[in-house]
Structure 1
Amino acid sequence: MMKRVANPLHISRFLQVYDDDAARKGVNLSIGFDFDRYVSITRTTPTKRPTYPNFRPDRSPIKSGEGFWMMGVDKNGEVAVLQAVRMYDLSRSNFADYLESLKAFYADPTVHAHPNDSCTCLAPSAKKISGKVAYHGDAWVRRDYRGKGIPNIMAGMAFGVSFAMWAPDFVCALVPRWLVDKGVLAQYEYTHNELGGSILRLVEEDISNEDWLTWVTGDELRTRVDRHAREFAR
């Protein structure tokens, strides 16, 4: 069945809610598409961990129209918030297989992956995440802006822009256990969460993590955008 065309006005209203909320908190948001520039920003941002290879053009180039990043700056123009989103075409695969093949991280694992790199996905639902999948990651919030609802804003922007660009079948993320334990994950407003999303080891990247899988379906995302638009219009 053909999907309904996304309503641009609804998307605009949806995004405006989050942009206005960011402005009230002293954060000016912008969106970019040049990932070389994004990496140059993240590398010079104090306290931010290195960007994973799936958002770095030297390891996993992102074609035009298949990714975007967001930055928020404070009143002094200093970076306060960062995050990135890319679209995976999993029409012939699924998220679990894509992770375990390491193709989620490297355009060509045979060239860039270390022989001891590995990724195990135990979350059962990851096998069902396929089609156009928007992957939301590399989130960072400066310490003085934490505890102010910024994750909700950034997730909302990621949802809205992803919907506008791709109308994806799924939006998903891999998140550390501490976000779940501290209740921060709830601020991202993902509908579903599952343990065992990724047990990842990337030797040369010095990455060794166990993350949860969190996701929202395309239908749930459309419903959320439409609902926000109706509430905004009241």
Structure 2
Amino acid sequence: MSFHSMNEGAQFVATSRDILLQNQIKVTIGSDFLEYRKLLREERPQQIMGAPFDPDMHDLNHKNAFWLVARDSDGLMMHTQASRLINLKQRTLSGYMLKRFRDFPPAIPDIDLKRSRYRASPGANRITGDVVYHGEVWMGDTGQYRGTGLSTVLARYGIHEAMCRWNPDYIFGFMARTVAFKGFAERMGYMHNEPGALRWYRKGSDMPLEGFVSYLSNEDTRYLLQMPVVDVVDVPQPQSKAA
């Protein structure tokens, strides 16, 4: 049964759009990753585009990927995320990543791919079918929105878009340990967070960067999107500008 034909998420979408409108947040969704790369170079130069969404490395189009950009009342980019569909066929996510994890490095320079490693977590051994990789999640350092809960609303907005497009079996992403320990995975809506999945090394450093794998099953996602936004986050109040 298609997610489109069901009422799941309808209340979430309506409330989310009201919240974004009240806070003068404009969301744009697209599938042209050449355009997305150009936007990032101009407006998010502090964080390079992640390799999983590089159009020079992958055939990305409206059938298998999308990006989401949110802008504040001044038109400034304040949030990004992107999703990409992967058909695992008969493989598990762990089997896929054992061979392909180097295609999903963190968006930082000087990664030593030879020394880095992937470790299959219990959940990754069960994940199979059509899965969505959810990444490029970035929230600008815009003080007026800090602590408002808008990051939670925007993250779920992207998850809902992925469900409407593909109704995947699972949605997953990778998260740095330092970020995961701050509860960001939970704020985004992920119900499963497994440590020790990734260990990245930078060239010339013996200090590893640890990564969690975070994921939702199709059932988890439906449950999440059925919940009123006020049940999972304090609804942000409209932001007023100082005179």
TM-score (normalizing by structure 1): 0.81
**Aligned mates of 2:200, 2:57 — CA distance in 1:** 16
Structure 1: runs of 5 or more not aligned = 107-113
> Are the structure 2 counterparts of residues 31 and 142 from structure 1 closer, same or farther at C-alpha, using a change threshold of 3 Å?
same
Give 1:47 deviation, angstroms: 5.5
Q: What are the within-5 Å matches in structure 2 for residues 137-176 of structure 1?
A: 137-144=135-142, 145-176=145-176
CA contact (8 A) 1:69 1:85 kept: yes
In the other structure, the counterpart of 1:109 is: none
1:37: Cα distance to partner? 0.9
Residue 2 of structure 2 corresponds to which residue in structure 1? 5
Distance 1:115 1:178 in 2: 21
Tell me if the contact between 2:68 and 2:81 (Cα under 8 Å) persists in the aligned partners: yes
For structure 2, the residue ranges without an aligned partner over 5 or more in a row are: 105-111, 232-243
State the alpha-carbon separation in 1 of the partners of residues 113 and 68 from structure 2.
33
Give matches, 1:79-228, under 5 Å. 79-102=77-100, 105=103, 116=114, 118-144=116-142, 145-200=145-200, 209-228=209-228
| Structure 1 residue 12, shift from structure 2 partner | 4.5
The CA deviation at 1:105 is 2.0
The size of the alignment, in residue pairs, is 217
Separation in structure 1 between the aligned mates of residue 210 and residue 58 of structure 2, nearest angstrom: 21
Displacement of 1:8: 5.4
Matched, 1:49 2:44: no
Shift of 1:41: 1.1
Of residues 142-151 and 96-105 in structure 1, the stretch that sits farther from structure 2 once superposed is 96-105
What is the CA–CA distance in structure 1 between the aligned matches of 2:53 and 2:33, rounded to whole Å? Answer: 7
Which whole-Å deviations, capped at 9, do the CAs of 1:81-131 have from their partners, x for residues lacking one? 11111111112222222222126728xxxxxxx973744134221121111
Structure 1: how far apart are the matches of 2:147 and 2:113?
Answer: 40
Identity among equivalent positions (%) equals: 22
**CA distance 1:182–1:223, shift in 2 (3 Å):** closer
Structure 2: how far apart are the matches of 1:138 and 1:59?
Answer: 16
